[in-house]
């Protein structure tokens, strides 16, 4: 497995693989790899001859009060995991290596990125689309793999490749969870034991809402109440940043579930911000 830090070297490596006729799949990550990431790498291996995992904690997608500095970076353990899974190359540009000092061009989606996480994290998705576009230009993958844990992000990337005619096929993988249902996340390690216990109720709340739908209720407000009530009762240290029922494609709020919808939530447990979602209908 090759570890590439230099963007030009990355481009050169990909160019050679493509010349040999290899199909390349890219899995973009910020490192601190867990089973969620690994499931995407396995998916990528099924799709391509050579898998590239990028590991880059992208500064421009973090807000000024967010956890850029303390974001975990267990680089050697990440490399070992990639090696075990047969990754061909890890692309890990240096912290300052991807942006010119006077970088001034951004890629911005302007519809589906405005709600949900876009509302509470201004500039976040602009940072994501910009870095993913740069990674696509450098790695030149045929396919890129994203997790549905970050469902809004995956939809925005799909919109970006469609609207900018970027020749990369986007595929998504399901949310991978801990035994008690908590969606795996690099940020879960910030949680103190009692916070970790309460965090499991985020998924329980989503399941409660989903069960209410399956029992014949399709009214959005009452589904959201099921989620809010369970959090209020079982996770008193959790603060709901948003809980929204949205159309599965447009991410516009829906009042009644008549087409595939998504219940998406962001919850703060202590200082840690966690997101999760579930398909409804």
Q: Which residues sit at the interface with ligand AMP, rule CB under 6 A?
A: 29-30, 36-37, 39-40, 146-147, 149-150, 173, 175-176, 183-186
Tell me how far, at minimum, the Cβ of 132 lies from ligand AMP, in Å: 10
Tell me how far, at minimum, the Cβ of 247 lies from ligand AMP, in Å: 20
Residues 11 and 104: their CA atoms lie apart, in Å, by 22
Q: Which of 34, 37, 212, 217 is catalytic?
A: 37
Residues 49 and 17: their CA atoms lie apart, in Å, by 9
Q: Which of 121, 1, 8, 141 is nearest to 68 (CA)?
A: 121
Tell me how far, at minimum, the Cβ of 241 lies from ligand AMP, in Å: 17
Residues 143 and 4: their CA atoms lie apart, in Å, by 19
Q: Which is nearer to ligand AMP, 126 or 149 (CB)?
A: 149
Q: Which of 280, 207, 198 is nearest to 240 (CA)?
A: 198
Residue nearest to ligand AMP (CB): 147
Q: Which of 164, 161, 188, 165 is nearest to 176 (CA)?
A: 188
Tell me how far, at minimum, the Cβ of 80 lies from ligand AMP, in Å: 17
212 classed as catalytic = no
Q: Which is nearer to ligand AMP, 58 or 212 (CB)?
A: 58
Q: Which is nearer to ligand AMP, 130 or 185 (CB)?
A: 185
Q: Which is nearer to ligand AMP, 39 or 113 (CB)?
A: 39
Q: Please name the residues in contact with 24: beta carbons below 8 A apart, sequence gap of 6 or more.
A: 14, 17, 18, 48, 49, 50, 51, 52, 139, 140, 141, 142, 143
How many other C-beta atoms can be found within 10 angstroms of the C-beta atom of residue 90? 23
- Give catalytic residue positions: 37
């Amino acid at each position: 497995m090759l570890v590439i830090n230099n963007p030009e070297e990355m481009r050169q490596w990909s160019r050679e693989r493509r010349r040999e006729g290899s199909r390349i799949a890219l899995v973009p990550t910020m490192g601190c790899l867990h089973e969620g990431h690994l499931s995407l790498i396995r998916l990528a291996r099924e799709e391509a001859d050579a898998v590239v995992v990028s590991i880059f904690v992208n500064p421009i997608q973090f807000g000024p009060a967010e956890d850029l500095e303390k974001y975990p970076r267990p680089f050697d353990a990440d490399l070992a995991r990639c090696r075990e899974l047969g990754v061909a190359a890890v692309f890990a540009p240096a912290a300052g290596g991807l942006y010119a000092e006077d970088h001034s061009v951004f890629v911005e989606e302007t519809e589906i990125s405005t709600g949900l996480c876009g509302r509470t994290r201004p500039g976040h998705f602009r940072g994501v689309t910009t870095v993913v576009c740069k990674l696509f230009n450098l790695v030149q993958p045929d396919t890129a793999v994203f997790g549905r844990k970050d469902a809004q992000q995956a939809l925005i990337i799909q919109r970006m490749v469609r609207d900018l005619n970027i020749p990369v096929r986007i595929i998504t993988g399901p949310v991978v969870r801990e035994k008690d249902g908590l969606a795996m996340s690099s940020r879960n390690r910030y949680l103190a034991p009692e916070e970790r216990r309460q965090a499991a109720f985020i998924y329980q709340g989503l399941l409660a809402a989903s069960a209410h739908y399956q029992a014949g209720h399709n009214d959005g407000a009452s589904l959201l109440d099921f989620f809010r009530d369970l959090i209020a009762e079982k996770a008193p240290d959790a603060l709901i940043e948003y809980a929204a029922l949205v159309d599965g494609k447009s991410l516009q709020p829906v009042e009644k579930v008549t087409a595939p919808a998504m219940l998406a939530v962001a919850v703060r447990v202590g200082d840690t911000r966690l997101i999760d979602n579930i398909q409804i209908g």
